[in-house]
Structure 1
Amino acid sequence: MIKLIVFSLVILSIFVHTTNAALTAGFTVHIINALPNNDVPFSVQCESKDDNLGLKTPKVGEDYNFSFRGNLLGTTRFYCHYSWGSKKQLFDVFNSQMYKSRECGNISGNDYECFWKVQEDGFYFAGHNSPESYSKKYDWN
């Protein structure tokens, strides 16, 4: 009887994981370092409830990015801590509102990408990586 329960739980877990991957959208978040130079170190650390992606130090012009699938409830949230010299900032780079409104740009099918450009005067967001699509969302603290 216990073997049957364990087997059933394993099958259910596989089904839920497979269904989630098939039914939910995939997202790639890009963080582009568009600061003026590498003289002042820039770092970013992104996290979700389940994952800490570690401290990254992209150089000027580099695109740090990560991909994930949204959860079935549409509550996936990633936030990032930014540091550039004495300047700091923390905000969501992806959250349930962005998930539901599909603010990120469609790549194909059920896959989307979100772009964040880090500049000297703040943080800019776009659904696609084209100059005219960016709008300023946050200042440095």
Structure 2
Amino acid sequence: MSILVQTTNSALTDGFTVHIINALSNNDTPFSVQCKSQDDDLGLKTPKVGDDYTFSFHMNVLKTTRFYCHYSWGSKKQLFDVFNRYQSYECGKINGNDYECFWKVQDDGFYFGGHNSPESYSKKYDWN
């Protein structure tokens, strides 16, 4: 499942794709994620175990683009930025001006990686 978010002057700025990978242990407990920016609400998504929910956009000219996501997994919740100007420097370069940022959701928390490889991930947040 993939969403493209258009911003103005996109040809002049870097492009980013955010991946949110459901790496939870099973589908028995419902999992959902809703991502938003100042301008866009990407809607409530319910990726199953193994799914890679992605959305793409271009950084705005002022480099103030920010996306945050609300996560819910049974009684557990969490909210944090999945993309902002500071995290953009940790994203992995694909080619040219295109970058990707990976978030892996696991039973014990949230892991970030600039590329989708085991050695690139580091734990950033616990579930609340």
Tell me the TM-score range normalised by the shorter chain.
over 0.9
Aligned length: 123
* Aligned match for 2:104, one of 117, 126, 129: 117
Counterparts in 2 of 1:19 and 1:80: CA distance versus 1, 3 Å:
closer
Q: TM-score, normalization: structure 2?
A: 0.93
Larger radius of gyration: 1
Q: Separation in 2 of the partners of 1:67 and 1:124?
A: 19
Identity of aligned residues (%): 81
Aligned ranges for residues 1-141 of structure 1 at < 5 Å? Answer: 20-99=9-88, 102-141=89-128
Q: What is the deviation of 1:48?
A: 0.1
Higher helix share: 1
Unaligned 5+ runs, structure 2: 1-5
Say whether the 8 Å CA contact 2:8–2:60 is kept in structure 1.
Answer: no
Unaligned 5+ runs, structure 1: 1-16
Q: Separation in 2 of the partners of 1:103 and 1:96?
A: 10
Q: TM-score, normalization: structure 1?
A: 0.84
More RCO (CA 8 Å, sep 6+): 2
RMSD over aligned Cα atoms = 1.5
Q: Separation in 2 of the partners of 1:103 and 1:94?
A: 10
What residue identity is the alignment partner of 1:53? Answer: L
